[in-house]
Amino acid sequence: MRLDVVSIFPEYLAPLDLSLIGKARRDGLLDLRVHDLRDFAHDRHRSVDDTPYGGGAGMVMKPQPWAEALAHVAGSGGEGAPEGALEGGAEGARPRLIVPGPGGVPFTQALARELAVEPWLAFACGRYEGIDERVYEYAAQDLGLEVSVVSLGDYVLNGGEVAVLAMVEAVARLLPGVIGNAESLVEESHEDGLLEYPVYTKPSSWESAPGVTRDVPSVLMSGDHARIAAWRHQQRLERTATRRPDLLHASQAAPGAPVEGALAAFDVAVASPADAPELLTLGRACWVTEGRANGSFDIPPLVESLQDVVDGLSQWQTWTVRSAGRLVGSVRGRRDPQDPSTWQVGRLMVAPDLQGRGLGRALLAHVEAAAPSDTTTCWINTGRGSERNLRTYRKAGYRAVPGEGAYPGTVDLTKKRRRASVDQG
């Protein structure tokens, strides 16, 4: 990935030479270039600001230095970037321009992931009262850049450099090879709308003060991965409800509510053929992102007909989830026709505007609970490039089956079902 940063304080970006981001630069995973805006000012004072029209306190950054700086960055094309890294080659390549500012869209983990797939990002660090508004128009209309104003939070900083440091670290750590163990990215805060669960290390029993011993929760030393996954998810719900209740759907907000309780505010029912048209529409809305993630739109939910959906209802047990009459989610399950001991899970989908709130995990728990008592394994399939799905399933206790999945470009995942103990007394 290539990153260009324009600032009047280029030395502010020096911390990006440290730690994992610095190593990524030295390893060639990041091509970071910092430009001094004052190099594009032509008066003897190298001035980049002036008084605002209409009056008011403070100064406004002038359009001409910014126009020249951004044209210089955009005009450099793929110069110095690895071959093939920028679409369209050097001549046609253009960066996505990010302007940090308190009036922008919030910077979230979801946006960090979106930016992490961009081959080239440019950052414009404003100062004072901001950048002349005409610069945004120029960048979009004359240079053909996609311009995004992004806010680090609901507060005001002196300039955009601090925000760029945070954004670059959040984005760059998602690039393959930057974090040594990619699994460490799976269950972090905000990855699926919840905060991270508490973590522990050795010793298992720690004497924090004379006579005061603090122990690691016993479930973490049980070796039962399904119980550990359930405990961790519950901890995430409780921690999010306590610290960030705004992140939770209302049905999850009560601390201690089971995962299945996330469905309490919805109408859950067994699907009928009358639901097929809405299921077809919801499936296409949900699987477009999967097609992008996997580089192919030849995916059954995107190409099947209404009759195919109706036929599927006769072959699978399907549940619908509605909110005020609107279909917002669905999942289905059945015995594997070739292996009756396996419970197949499929078409787990949540309306895009409700994703990241735990509803998908609750639907997964719902369909697992519906499995016949004599089944021993749950199975699910997803695209090899569907990282969000893979994280969700791993957190639910599923593990990838080696080799190609049931369909080209996919992964099969399975987990053993826990059998209820029988009282022999």
Which residues make up each annotated binding site for S-adenosyl-L-methionine?
Answer: 126, 152-157
**408: Cβ contacts below 8 Å, ≥ 6 apart:** none
Burial-class residue 16 by CB neighbours within 10 Å (0-12, 13-18, 19+): buried
Q: Is the dihedral angle over the CA atoms 90, 176, 115, 394 positive or is it negative?
A: positive
Angstrom distance (rounded) from CA 144 to CA 117: 19
**9, 34 Cβ separation under 8 angstroms:** no
Contact in structure between 107 and 150 (CB atoms under 8 Å): yes
Are 378 and 368 a contacting pair, CB within 8 Å? yes
At residue 187's C-alpha, the angle toward residues 184 and 189, to 5°, is 110
Terminus-to-terminus CA distance in the chain, angstroms?
64
| CB-CB contact of 80 with 31 (8 Å) | yes
Rounded CA separation 57/326 (Å): 50
> Which token pair is 18?
């440290």
Query: Tokens 């969000």 identify what position?
Result: 388
Nearest by Cα to 380 from 347, 419, 404, 418: 347
Tokens of 106: 């919030």
| Angle between helix 306-315 and 276-294 (nearest 10) | 100
Among candidate residues 408, 389, 398, the one with its CA nearest the CA of residue 347: 389
Alpha-carbon gap, residue 85 to 312, rounded angstroms: 42
Quote the longest CA-to-CA distance of the chain: 93
Annotated binding site: 126, 152-157
